[in-house]
Structure 1
Amino acid sequence: MSAAFLAGEVAARALPVVGGVLGAGGVAVAALPARVRMRAELRRRWRTWALAAPLFLGALFLGRAGACALAAGLGVVAVAEYARMAGLGRGERGVLGVAAVALPALAWAAPGADALRLAGVLLLAAVAVAVLKGDAATGFTRASRTLFGLVWIPVALAGLVLLSPGTALAVGIAVAFGDVGAWCGGTALGRVGPLARPLSALSPNKTWAGVVGAAAATAAALAALGAFSGLLWAAVLAGAVLGDLVESMVKREAGVKDAGTWLPGFGGLLDRVDSLLFALLFVMVTGVAL
């Protein structure tokens, strides 16, 4: 079966799958009684999902040009939030901002050796900012945080362009389902018993029950899209779990609860795409594709 056929199959299934889940979710949150503690929060989250889903699907339906625009837009906002949490200066922020736009653009225009060369230039620039300023006190920390941010955000988001359209679409939808599944699993199964154990000290509220919920939801999403394979499912699940924990680690050291405050129900953009970033990296590293 050709990659083009599989990509078309995923795209054809994406609209009814996402639309059906959003519709069912909208009815469910609208019907919640007023006494439910998280009623207002869940409604805000649903409205954010309802706005974000068409933007994500629409961009990827436009092909690699749309994926490039989506990756650049997400990257510019995400690196700004990360730079603020990491305490980076204007020079490092500039390097990350340029990378957020340049890497997806080059991945679209000339994937391969040129992208690797640009990545090398950006890595050198990330280190050069602190070196040229002669920062002996915090230069190594700033350079390290900038290098991490380059790989975590712009390089990962370039995967939306480098991966086949069907793969990028399946990963994005599966990660979104996984986030919802993790919340449902943690709420339903994470109160007592062995599944109530915290997954990591980095985020005590994240339990093994949430991992079970995410595993079930990501598998269901990939199956509904006709894109399920064991390796793709494992890559998406590992990325979803690790991405959440990595952002918790960054936020804990920064002393903040959320990466931002502008995204209703979630906080900042990084709070919404943290799992997607690592899922894309895992899929690119494993080489699994539709």
Structure 2
Amino acid sequence: MSALFVAGEAVARAVPVVGGVLGAGGVAVAALPARVRMRAELRRRWRSWALAAPLFLGAFLLGRAGTFALAAGLGVVAVGEYARMAGLGRGERIVLGAAAVAVPGLAWAVPGVDAVRAAGALLGAAVIVAVVSGDASGGFTRACRTLFGLVWIPVALAGLVALDADTALAVGVAVAFGDVGAWCAGTALGRRGPLSYPLSPLSPNKTWAGVAGAACATAAALAVVGAFAITLWAAVLAGAVLGDLVESMVKREAGVKDAGTWLPGFGGLLDRVDSLLVALLLVMATGVGL
């Protein structure tokens, strides 16, 4: 009951902020003139945001059971998209899908599980299929890609359960605001000048202007939900920036533009949560909220 009360307080602080931004954004995209090239895409994105925000916030109202369900649901979809991009076989997909449920479940059932034991279990899960199948030509690559997927998705999403409700919710809201801030600043300031330089050849459209926008937006989001701290802000900002580049790296090697096609305005689920995954991992690494 106390965990549900704390989660309710966190959601109560976040709902007016998220609702206000969604409302303002809805008015803005509705008012866009027909000649604006990205009008249709922006409207699709807004509809996806409008659906995702209540689901995300609502999960926290149910306490740790809700955040477990959220983490497991996101994980099952995300590992499916990742497995297709990574070219993993049926065995590795089963391992990743099981881990998407089991790792957040472990964080729920056994808070503070020893990191060494968890790492050993993940390594065993990553190599078992390739070892049992006797794949001497590509087994190492398969195992490495599986291990990367395990850490990148199920372990990261377990942070929604392992972190306290205030911190986990603040990270999710701040990352979402950071994505919007990066896009706005990149569009407005990333065309020319000192902030127009790309961060990495992996994603030439990601510029230092976007980093500046994400820095401002994540700081503002953390402040308005009452969770601003330098360490937390730095971890969220780094995750927001690195998350996009990590997924770009995976997609470049896979030769695909998007992780999927089913999420209007974004592509796949991984295209929407890539920053959240890295941010959660970095926040857990700092020990904030654990």
Structure 1 distance, partners of 2:6, 2:23, is 26
Structure 1 distance, partners of 2:85, 2:103, is 22
2:215 matched to which residue of 1? Answer: 215
User: Residue type of the partner of 1:61?
Assistant: L
Give percent identity, aligned residues only: 83
Aligned residues: 288
Structure 2 distance, partners of 1:243, 1:84, is 19
User: Residue type of the partner of 1:143?
Assistant: A
2:139 matched to which residue of 1? Answer: 139
Q: 1:110-138 CA distances to partner (integer Å, 9 max, x unpaired)? A: 12337864553342022021111111111
Structure 2 distance, partners of 1:61, 1:236, is 23
2:189 matched to which residue of 1? Answer: 189
Structure 2 distance, partners of 1:172, 1:289, is 13
2:32 matched to which residue of 1? Answer: 32
Alignment of 1:1-290 (within 5 A): 9-113=9-113, 117=117, 120-289=120-289
The unaligned stretches of length 5 or more in structure 1 are: none
Cα pair 2:11 2:60 within 8 Å, conserved: no
1:7: Cα distance to partner? 6.1
Structure 1 distance, partners of 2:201, 2:45, is 26
Structure 1 distance, partners of 2:9, 2:97, is 35
1:264: Cα distance to partner? 0.2
Structure 2 distance, partners of 1:224, 1:125, is 41
Structure 1 distance, partners of 2:113, 2:32, is 53
TM superposition score normalised by structure 1: 0.95
Cα pair 2:196 2:208 within 8 Å, conserved: yes
The unaligned stretches of length 5 or more in structure 2 are: none
Q: 1:69-95 CA distances to partner (integer Å, 9 max, x unpaired)? A: 000000000000000000000111111
Structure 1 distance, partners of 2:106, 2:115, is 6
Structure 2 distance, partners of 1:116, 1:98, is 20
TM superposition score normalised by structure 2: 0.95
Q: 1:178-231 CA distances to partner (integer Å, 9 max, x unpaired)? A: 000000010010011010000101100100000000001101111111111111
Q: 1:225-244 CA distances to partner (integer Å, 9 max, x unpaired)? A: 11111111101000110111
Cα pair 1:95 1:122 within 8 Å, conserved: no
Cα pair 1:199 1:207 within 8 Å, conserved: yes
User: Residue type of the partner of 1:226?
Assistant: G
User: Residue type of the partner of 2:10?
Assistant: V
Which range is displaced more, 32-41 or 225-234? Answer: 225-234
Cα pair 1:103 1:118 within 8 Å, conserved: no
User: Residue type of the partner of 2:165?
Assistant: P
Cα pair 1:9 1:226 within 8 Å, conserved: no
- The 3-state SS of whatever aligns with 1:113 is coil
Structure 1 distance, partners of 2:273, 2:193, is 30
User: Residue type of the partner of 1:28?
Assistant: A
Cα pair 2:4 2:62 within 8 Å, conserved: no
Cα pair 2:103 2:154 within 8 Å, conserved: yes
User: Residue type of the partner of 2:22?
Assistant: L
RMSD value, Cα = 1.8
